[in-house]
Amino acid sequence: MNKKANTLLFILGATVFNILTTVISFFVLYIPFALFLQSHFPDPQSASSWGLIVCMIAAFVLSFVIYRVVLKQLLKKIDAEKHFDPIFGNQRKR
């Protein structure tokens, strides 16, 4: 395969990985909240709403951190310039 195909496959794979990481992180954070912590609040409906919001934001942050760590480890193992095309073209001036 050529560099453009490698770049496209990498972007698609990274996107799927990031979405799956976000979904898994959300369920890992929300299920314990729903099972254990929600019963300790006086208004369960309000707690559930706030819990969804907080867990979703935390899932975004956690998936971003996991994505960055995995990407750094991957780029240590492979030579990106050898296998991938630049996404935004050449950076030199014309």
* Residue in the block written with tokens 């240590």: 76
What are residue 31's phi and psi, to 5 degrees? -60, -50
Closest CA to 18 of 62, 53, 55, 51: 62
pLDDT tens column, 28-71: 998 988 887 767 777 767 777 888 899 999 999 999 999 999 98
Give me the DSSP letters along 42-80: S-HHHHHHHHHHHHHHHHHHHHHHHHHHHHHHHHHHS-H
Q: In the chain, what are the domain boundaries?
A: 3-78
What average pLDDT does this structure show over 78-88? 72
The structure's pTM equals 0.76
What are residue 5's phi and psi, to 5 degrees? -65, -40
Distance (Å, whole) CA 13 – CA 91: 25
Q: pLDDT averaged over the chain?
A: 84
